[in-house]
Amino acid sequence: MERVLGSTALVVGGGAAGPPCPGGTVAMGNGRAIALRLAEEGARVAVSDIDLAGAEETVGLMGGGLALEGDAGDAEACRRVVADAEAALGHLDVVVCNVGISSWQKI
């Protein structure tokens, strides 16, 4: 449908893999699904995740884009991810923060 054609997006937490969609074989977490849909709709997409390999896998499934490593629980890492995405892709039109930070988890 190309609703975001020509826009630039950053999906934080886009490397997370969940169970495959029904009938599918690719692990599909919410962030990954969002990144894939943005790319399908015509956006240039950067994907960040605490797990760089997961971000790279999402970018590979999109057929291109930018994979970045960053911990959303670290303010400096967040600033770096945004700066790196903007340096590579230009101004960000869309930012999706698909992460959760829990108080019971050691950060």
Strand runs (DSSP E) across 1-107, as ranges? 8-12, 44-49, 66-69, 94-97
Rg (CA), the chain: 13
Residue 18 pLDDT: 81
Q: Whole-angstrom Cα distance, residue 86 to residue 36?
A: 19
Name the token pair of 107. 């950060």
Name the token pair of 73. 């629980």
Residue 53 pLDDT: 95
Chain centroid to CA 55: how far?
A: 7
Residue 106 pLDDT: 57
State pTM to two decimals: 0.88
Report, as ranges of residue numbers, the positions in the chain whose pLDDT lies below 70. Answer: 1, 101-107
